[in-house]
Amino acid sequence: MAAITLLEAIRQGLWEEMERDKDVFLLGEDIGVYGGAFKVTEGFIDKFGAERVIDTPISETAIVGAACGAAMMGMRPVAEMQFIDFISCCFDMLTNYAAKSRYRQGIGIPIVVRGPSGGGVHAGPFHSQNVESFFLNTPGLKMVEPSTPYDAKGLIKAAIRDDDPVLFFEHKLLYRNPKIKQEVPADDYIVPIGKAAVRREGKDLSVITYGAMVYTALDAAERLQQEGIDVEVIDLRTLQPFDREAVSETVKKTSKVIILHEATKTGGMAGELTAVINEEVFEYLDGPVTRVTSIDTPVPYAPPLEEFFLPQVDDLLKAARSLAAY
């Protein structure tokens, strides 16, 4: 097995699912002839043809609307947002149609809406967002964000096979990061939606996170180990439904928890996780649940401002030292 990037893992997962199931097709802006803005679908149109790799107009609402209609007719569309920020254009189609279809009429909408998310690449406020909290309050939508190539391939395959809508977030900072290359099996496999992973065992303090922040947490954990603070790192992988059992188990184990995410603080994943921890395992806590997130502003364009905006290793170190001493 050769070590591959996260981007290549997604490519492989899409390719294999299209070979496995003729009902799987792709649609999005510039995904065919051009191969996608990040080249995730490069070469797909040559293999599968223009009927299964469809270049669309610049209309996210039309892309997701067409995907929903095709899904209701038995197809399994994978819709690409060129940048995940523009998923806001199809908010109504996702929240009022796709997410409610099974509840309303007993018909699943097996679509995947995927695209690059996250900051750190100086792309400004319209190409750097993390949009998970927009959809966290919508029953019927699943949300996934892998941090490793192995998970990226296994989760995209699981998402395509799911009988309900899945939003698949791909942190663009991880796409071609050589440091996270990983050997991925050639055999067919999936990573189950809804299951977290323990990325680092620890006994003193837990960091619950996902996406690119997994590596921020791991870097901080290595430095804290030298100070005698043993940190456990939990990678949620699936944001909705998140793995409540894994969250509860790490709280019971360490009794001190930091929730780390790149999205802004107010109304974010961290608030919901904190509420669940308080409701289900409060008696195990030896300190307040602590949030380390971006600040409540749009994502800045200027590199120094973006660095200030995003959670850094030093921000996590400061929070961890304070919580460990609580």
Q: Are residues 25 and 80 in the same domain?
A: yes
- Residue 111 is part of which domain span? 3-183
Give this prediction's pTM.
0.97
Q: How far apart are CA 290 and CA 313, in angstroms?
A: 15
Residue 298 vs residues 126, 213, 289, 309: alpha-carbon distances, Å: 9, 18, 25, 9
Assigned token pair, 31: 């995904």
Give the pLDDT confidence score for residue 325 in this predicted structure: 96
Instruction: Indicate whether 220 pLDDT > 90.
Output: yes
Q: Are residues 160 and 36 in the same domain?
A: yes
Number of domains into which the chain is organized = 2
Please confirm, yes or no, whether 122 is among the known catalytic residues: no
Q: Are residues 26 and 167 in the same domain?
A: yes
At 7-49, the pLDDT tens digits run: 999 999 999 999 999 999 999 999 999 999 999 999 999 999 9
Is there a cis peptide before residue 241, judged by omega within 30 degrees of 0? yes
Q: How far apart are CA 151 and CA 238, in angstroms?
A: 10
Q: How far apart are CA 114 and CA 168, in angstroms?
A: 4
Residue 293 vs residues 56, 82, 139, 227, 309: alpha-carbon distances, Å: 35, 25, 24, 23, 9
Strand order in the sheet with 238-240: 53-55, 24-28, 76-80, 112-117, 166-171, 142-144, 238-240
**Does residue 191 fall inside a structural domain?**
no
Give the pLDDT confidence score for residue 263 in this predicted structure: 98
**Does residue 175 fall inside a structural domain?**
yes
Q: Which of 183, 218, 253 is the last residue of a domain?
A: 183
Q: How far apart are CA 263 and CA 131, in angstroms?
A: 7
Q: Are residues 31 and 174 in the same domain?
A: yes
Q: Are residues 234 and 99 in the same domain?
A: no
Q: Over range 244-261, report the average pLDDT.
A: 98
| Residue found under tokens 């080249």 | 39
**Does residue 264 fall inside a structural domain?**
yes
Please provide the average confidence, as pLDDT, over all residues in the chain: 97
Q: What are phi and psi of 80, to 5 degrees?
A: -100, 130
Q: Are residues 238 and 319 in the same domain?
A: yes
Assigned token pair, 14: 């899409």
Give the pLDDT confidence score for residue 33 in this predicted structure: 97
Instruction: Indicate whether 1 pLDDT > 80.
Output: no
pLDDT band for position 2 (50/70/90)?
confident
Residue 135: left (phi > 0), alpha (psi -120 to 50), or beta? Answer: alpha
**Does residue 72 fall inside a structural domain?**
yes
Q: Are residues 172 and 34 in the same domain?
A: yes
At 165-195, the pLDDT tens digits run: 999 999 999 999 999 999 999 899 999 999 9
CATH number at residue 266: 3.40.50.920
Q: Are residues 228 and 149 in the same domain?
A: no
Give the pLDDT confidence score for residue 323 in this predicted structure: 98
CATH number at residue 126: 3.40.50.970
**Does residue 192 fall inside a structural domain?**
no
**Does residue 219 fall inside a structural domain?**
yes
| Residue found under tokens 């819709």 | 79
Give the pLDDT confidence score for residue 254 in this predicted structure: 98
**Does residue 278 fall inside a structural domain?**
yes
Q: Which of 116, 149, 183 is the last residue of a domain?
A: 183
Q: Are residues 39 and 114 in the same domain?
A: yes
At 48-89, the pLDDT tens digits run: 999 999 999 999 999 999 999 999 999 999 999 999 999 999
Out of 122, 127, 171, 261, the active site residue is 127
Q: Are residues 222 and 262 in the same domain?
A: yes
**Does residue 188 fall inside a structural domain?**
no
